[in-house]
Amino acid sequence: MAQQGVIKTAKKLGLFAVAMFGFGFAMVPIYSVLCEVTGIGGKTGVISQSEASADEVDADRLVTVEFDSNVHPDLPWKFKALKYKMSVHPGEMSEAIFIVENKSDKAVVGKAVPSVAPEKASVYFNKTECFCFTKQLLEPGERKEMIVRFIVGSELPEDILIMTLSYTFFLVTDNADVAASDTKAVKTIS
């Protein structure tokens, strides 16, 4: 009877619709994996200490790494790199220091998001230690030195002579008052 066929077709199509709804969300991890593999969006990689030391140092080559530091307007912090640029050998472990200062009279939590340009270079830029992995709490007026240990892979293409590591510090709020602070942020922008 046709009615049974109708129900069967409708069920299959309904399942298909639900699966596509899931696919919408699946695009999030797919996108992030794709970005990591191809370097879209300047996503940087993380490797362990031992992996880093396994890389061969290319003493004949020098690459310039520039540091760029930004603070989101909502965050009352000052943030800058101690040295704006440095020259490193590919495969060599290096260390850069950033200074953060809380200019307000309240304790504030912030989080830094890294990005590397050009995108082509970001795949070879790996960190073993970074303040960007965790939320940072600064007491009123507190000043802190933050360290990032990184290694530029020796496989880095020859044509890349200069790359930029950029950090932006964002305000972190508790989930509970995210909504409230969001509307506040909206008001400041508009």
Partner 1 sequence: MSDAAVHDDHHDHKPTGIGRWLFSTNHKDIGTMYLIFALTMFFVGGAMAMVIRAELFQPGLQFVNPQFFNSMTTVHALVMIFGALMPAGVGLANWMIPLMIGAPDMAMPRMNNMSFWLLPFSFTLLLSTFFMEGGAPAGGWTMYPPLVFQLGDGFPFLIFAVHLLGISSIMGAINIIATVFNMRAPGMTFMRLPLFVWTWIITAFLLIAAMPVLAGGVTMLLTDKFFGTAFFDAAGGGDPLLFQHVFWFFGHPEVYILVLPSFGIISQIIPTFARKPLFGYSSMVYATASIAFLSFFVWAHHMFAVGMPLAGELFFMYATMMIAVPTGVKIFNWTATMWKGSMTFETPMLFAIGVLFMFSIGGFSGVMMGITPVDFQYHDTYFIVAHFHYVIVPGIIFGIIGGIYYWLPKWTGHMYDETLGKWHFWLSTISVNVLFFPMHFIGLAGMPRRIPDYSTQFADWNAIISIGGIVFGLSQLIMVWVVIKCIRGGEKATDEVWEGAHGLEFTLPSPPPFHSFTTPPEVTEASAHS
Least distance to partner 1, CB of residue 162, Å = 19
Least distance to partner 1, CB of residue 49, Å = 23
Least distance to partner 1, CB of residue 5, Å = 4
Please identify, using beta-carbon distances, which residue of 32 and 64 lies nearer to partner 1: 32
Q: In the complex, which residues of this chain contact partner 1 (CB under 8 A)? A: 2, 5-6, 9-10, 13-14, 16-25, 27-28, 31-32, 35, 38-41, 72, 111, 113, 119, 168, 170-172, 175, 178-179, 182, 186, 189-190
In this structure, the strands spanning 63-71 and 162-171 are parallel
Please identify, using beta-carbon distances, which residue of 128 and 168 lies nearer to partner 1: 168
Please identify, using beta-carbon distances, which residue of 13 and 59 lies nearer to partner 1: 13
Least distance to partner 1, CB of residue 46, Å = 13
Q: Please give the full DSSP string across 32-98, using - where no structure is assigned.
A: HHHHHHH-GGGPPEE--HHHHHHSPP-TT--EEEEEEEEE-TTS-EEEEESSSEEEE-TT-EEEEEE
What are the C-alpha distances in Å from 58 to residues 63, 81, 110, 158?
11, 26, 36, 12
In whole angstroms, give the CA distance from residue 32 to residue 51: 23
